[in-house]
Structure 1
Amino acid sequence: MAKPGERVKVVVEKEEIEGVLMPEEKEFVVVKLDTGYNMGIDKKRVKEIKPLGKKKEKIPELPKEKSKKGLPTIAILHTGGTIASKVDYETGGVIARFSPEEILAMFPELKEIANIKSRLVANMWSEDMRFGHYNILAKEVDKEIKAGTDGVIITHGTDTLHYTSAALSFMLKDLSIPVMLVGAQRSSDRGSSDAALNLISAVFFIAANKKFAEVAVCMHENTEDETCMILPGTKCRKMHSSRRDAFQAINVLPWARVDYDKKQANYLRTGFNKVSAKKKAQILPMKENIKVGIIYCHPNMYASQFKAFSGYDGLVIDGTGLGHAPVSETDKITKENAQIMKEIQDLIKKGTVVVMATQTVYGGIDMNVYAPGRKLIEAGVLGNYCDMTTETAYIKLAWLLSNYPKEKAKEMFGQNLVGEISERLEYEKEFVKQ
């Protein structure tokens, strides 16, 4: 019996169809034709499926690249995602490419910019990542620092890339080299792919800027294939499910703009940490069993939704507006809101650290403006006057509770540690007017 991935001949009434058998569908036999297109054939029409043998993917022998004097050495750590992958049109799957030779074969411009070394650290969907994977990445970065590498690029799936960039920003204390996270919305062999420009721009920026020592993200500036932005690791976010310019800086300007065609990397602001041989990087890891949750505020909530976080170490309330939750009883219909307030108070009394973020994404928290917010402050909800994204607040809270006693963690949550809190909102997003 033929298996998916095997080359087959499908016999129907008046013809025979050759191609690669794809995973089974309920009512159809699906074959990938030599043209690259899939053909679905009604199972009722199929008389026979003849196996023709499995066609193995041909990986060409690639020459080993020699290091070039005068160029910086950059390590690419591959964790999965589409940035260093291509579609295998024989099987329909996505193949990861991660050896230095394969990376250079895909992006030949890189060898003129830097000496590249590359290895696989993980091969997974980014939404499957857990705190243990952040610890692995931090250790791998530390290895490269000790080996004398000039910069590290982490290729990463885009869905949770901003969680990882925030985590590494907190975990890598006294970072002495740049660490750049790079993703792609579309695989590298598609004409509309953003993979090449994102990766090449990240390598170029590291090579051209010898002083920058931050965890940052390098992604497309807009839908044109021209420039990339260097975004701060704790103040950026994926803002679109599919566009190439999905990642945006939040409440601050990006660090820099990279125009590789013009060989330009221009800073948009300063204040970044600088490369220093005197720095000794330290890893402050995440506890893998720490329990921190996020609850999204919405109309018609129930106290039981908050009670579900009983026993958690921390909870981020993704509040509305300036940092609000439905905690006010104003009539008979809103009696449940009083129970929500009681549940929040109980969580805090039992030891859960509760903090506020805003689901508006842009802007900051000010719970002093309205009475419900002041009630939350009195109950012990933290985060007033902060402008962290919900994702950064979540990562920061988990990291603090992993490394400090609870009271110290609570004290530090409102402090700006690695650029995650703005001293003041100097930059407002220019919203598109319809």
Structure 2
Amino acid sequence: MDASEFIKKNNLKIKSRIKLRVDGTDFEGILLPSQDFLQIKLDNGYNVGFNPELIKSLEIIATPEEKIKAKQAQLEQDASLPQIVILHTGGTIASKVDYGTGGVSPSFDASEIVSLFPELQKVARISSVFVSNIFSEDMRFENYAIIAREIAALLKDKPKGIIVTHGTDTMHYTASALAFMFENLPVPVILVGSQRSSDRPSTDAMLNLVNAARFIAKTDFAGVAICMHSGLDSNACHILPATKTRKMHSSRRDAFKAVNSRPIAKISEDRLEYFGSYPKYTGGELKLYAKFEEKVGLLKARPNISPEEISFFQDKAYKGLIIEGTGLGHIGITEAKNKDNLKALQSLISSGCIVCMTTQCIFGEVNPNVYSTGRELKKAGVIFLHDMLAETAYIKLAWLLGNFGKEKALELMEKNLRGEISERSILEPLPSE
């Protein structure tokens, strides 16, 4: 008898919780789709398979329907705790493996989220809203507007704060977008991600999400920030500034770091530590500017770059371009074979496109006054953006052009609106773990 026959004979349903006895040992877990061997997922996250002929006893602990009812019954929340809304946009943070399909699916019902993260019930009353479930690399400007409008609607119910679950790869872009779109945010809006799905034993989702809730429950911070692991072996998370943070590693749990800045705070189960001053709500009407100019580009300077690449943005009528320059903010324009790059930039700027310079060094700032290359670029009309991150600059320029037009964008790109430009350089080490 193979597994499919065993399942049919015993009237089993995929995703049921069952207990098996094999060779004198009991195994309990979730029934997975099976063919030859009966597959179950143990509570430790591992899948195991059994020859149906060796199964001595079988107990059905809960069917999928019974599991849902049990989760709903368990959702009794403490009315004295602050209200926090979890807004799901995508990523693995609020997802789990769907054992019916084998894929990862979102869990956006409050009872589902609390069942995945029971610690949340000790921190806040949780409600949840599903906005989307897309990979973060598929985010577009229109998605930012949808998320922002949902946040604005939720704020009418006066929650203590909002957690936005998001894929990690472009979370820093979304954080910047939300920071620019909102003016006079009255509560914390914290973006949270994870590197592994929430029901895996190695997940970082629980700590990131629960610490975000802890921070919201305790703080008077108002604005947009990111909450992620502060270190590989730490039980704490850093609260990171929306416009000064970048993903610095493809897979580490502590991948997100504040750049040319410090974390806003460090949060753990029993401690909240601030690293400096931070924005608080001082009154004023909530304003939302949710438009973005689509025709804005991001170009990385490098050896052998050609004028044709620069001219592309003029040919396609782009209205803005961020150059991720080398070092202090350079692109090849000096040697004979590179002089046409300068001509292409001059032509692009003359066509009406705003061209700005950042540094691909990530840390540090651009300065056009050190070398002749920088002076020539500045003379041509390139705007140097101090220590603004390239990703943040890209979002800011698209946002300014979308809402206020070219003249206002030219005026405001070099002005610090949401903490994107440091008032002074941060040379000392970041706070230790």
1:275 aligned onto 2:281: yes
Q: Is the 8 A contact 2:181 2:289 kept in 1?
A: yes
In structure 1, the residue matched to 2:289 is: 284
In structure 1, the residue matched to 2:318 is: 312
Q: How far 1:428 moved relative to its partner? A: 4.4
Q: Distance in 1 between matches of 2:140 and 2:297?
A: 13
Q: TM-score, normalised by structure 2?
A: 0.83
Q: How far 1:253 moved relative to its partner? A: 0.8
Q: How far 1:431 moved relative to its partner? A: 13
Name the count of aligned residue pairs.
383
1:202 to 212, 223, 238: 212
Q: How far 1:68 moved relative to its partner? A: 2.7
In structure 1, the residue matched to 2:159 is: 149
User: 2:238 aligns to what SS in structure 1?
Assistant: strand
Q: How does 1:355-394 map to 2 (within 5 A)?
A: 355-384=356-385, 386-394=386-394
Q: Is the 8 A contact 2:184 2:281 kept in 1?
A: no
Q: Distance in 1 between matches of 2:383 and 2:354?
A: 8
1:301 aligned onto 2:308: no
Task: Supply the AA of the counterpart residue of 1:417.
Answer: L
Q: How does 1:63-102 map to 2 (within 5 A)?
A: 63=72, 65-102=75-112
Task: Supply the AA of the counterpart residue of 2:114.
Answer: L
Task: Supply the AA of the counterpart residue of 1:128.
Answer: D
User: 2:407 aligns to what SS in structure 1?
Assistant: helix
Q: Is the 8 A contact 1:176 1:280 kept in 2?
A: no
Q: Distance in 1 between matches of 2:420 and 2:281?
A: 20
Q: Is the 8 A contact 1:85 1:94 kept in 2?
A: yes
Deviations 1:66-92 (A, max 9, x none): 453331111100011000111234532
In structure 2, the residue matched to 1:167 is: 177
Q: Is the 8 A contact 1:172 1:281 kept in 2?
A: yes
In structure 1, the residue matched to 2:327 is: 321
Q: Distance in 2 between matches of 1:32 and 1:124?
A: 32
1:226 to 235, 244, 249: 235
Q: How far 1:339 moved relative to its partner? A: 0.8
Q: Is the 8 A contact 1:8 1:19 kept in 2?
A: no
Q: How far 1:8 moved relative to its partner? A: 5.7
User: 1:230 aligns to what SS in structure 2?
Assistant: strand
1:180 aligned onto 2:190: yes
1:396 aligned onto 2:402: no
User: 1:318 aligns to what SS in structure 2?
Assistant: strand
Q: How far 1:116 moved relative to its partner? A: 0.7
Deviations 1:292-344 (A, max 9, x none): 11111111111111111111110000100010000112xxxx42x11111000
1:106 aligned onto 2:106: no
Task: Supply the AA of the counterpart residue of 1:142.
Answer: A
Deviations 1:164-212 (A, max 9, x none): 0000000011111110000001111222211000000000001011x21
1:60 aligned onto 2:65: no
Task: Supply the AA of the counterpart residue of 1:208.
Answer: K
Q: Distance in 1 between matches of 2:230 and 2:110?
A: 27
In structure 1, the residue matched to 2:271 is: 264
Q: Is the 8 A contact 1:322 1:364 kept in 2?
A: yes
Q: Which structure is higher in helix share?
A: 2
Q: Is the 8 A contact 1:83 1:195 kept in 2?
A: yes
Q: Is the 8 A contact 1:252 1:428 kept in 2?
A: no
In structure 2, the residue matched to 1:242 is: 251
Q: How far 1:21 moved relative to its partner? A: 7.5
Q: Distance in 2 between matches of 1:426 and 1:365?
A: 14
Q: Distance in 2 between matches of 1:149 and 1:67?
A: 15
1:349–1:32 Cα change, 3 Å: farther
Is there any run of 5+ residues in structure 2 with no aligned partner, and where? 6-30, 50-62
Q: Distance in 2 between matches of 1:350 and 1:38?
A: 64
Q: Distance in 1 between matches of 2:173 and 2:203?
A: 23
Q: Distance in 2 between matches of 1:68 and 1:426?
A: 42
Task: Supply the AA of the counterpart residue of 1:293.
Answer: G
Deviations 1:1-51 (A, max 9, x none): xxxxxx868xxxxxxxx98479xxxxxxx9994466599xxxxxxxxxxxx
Q: Distance in 1 between matches of 2:324 and 2:429?
A: 20
Q: Is the 8 A contact 2:291 2:399 kept in 1?
A: yes
Task: Supply the AA of the counterpart residue of 1:395.
Answer: I
In structure 1, the residue matched to 2:425 is: 425
User: 1:274 aligns to what SS in structure 2?
Assistant: coil
Is there any run of 5+ residues in structure 1 with no aligned partner, and where? 1-6, 10-17, 23-29, 40-55
Q: Distance in 2 between matches of 1:323 and 1:286?
A: 29
Q: Distance in 1 between matches of 2:132 and 2:427?
A: 36
Task: Supply the AA of the counterpart residue of 2:112.
Answer: E
2:260 to 251, 254, 258: 251
1:431–1:315 Cα change, 3 Å: farther
User: 2:129 aligns to what SS in structure 1?
Assistant: strand
Identity across matched positions, percent = 46
Deviations 1:365-395 (A, max 9, x none): 10110001000001110124x1011100100
Q: Distance in 1 between matches of 2:330 and 2:32?
A: 58
Q: How far 1:225 moved relative to its partner? A: 4.1
Q: How far 1:60 moved relative to its partner? A: 2.3
Q: How far 1:224 moved relative to its partner? A: 1.0
Q: Distance in 2 between matches of 1:314 and 1:428?
A: 34
Q: Distance in 2 between matches of 1:407 and 1:357?
A: 20
Q: Distance in 1 between matches of 2:175 and 2:121?
A: 26
Q: Distance in 1 between matches of 2:406 and 2:198?
A: 45
In structure 1, the residue matched to 2:20 is: none
Task: Supply the AA of the counterpart residue of 1:348.
Answer: I
1:94–1:38 Cα change, 3 Å: farther
In structure 2, the residue matched to 1:49 is: none
User: 2:384 aligns to what SS in structure 1?
Assistant: coil
Q: Is the 8 A contact 1:32 1:91 kept in 2?
A: no
Q: Distance in 2 between matches of 1:132 and 1:32?
A: 45
Q: CA RMSD in A?
A: 2.4
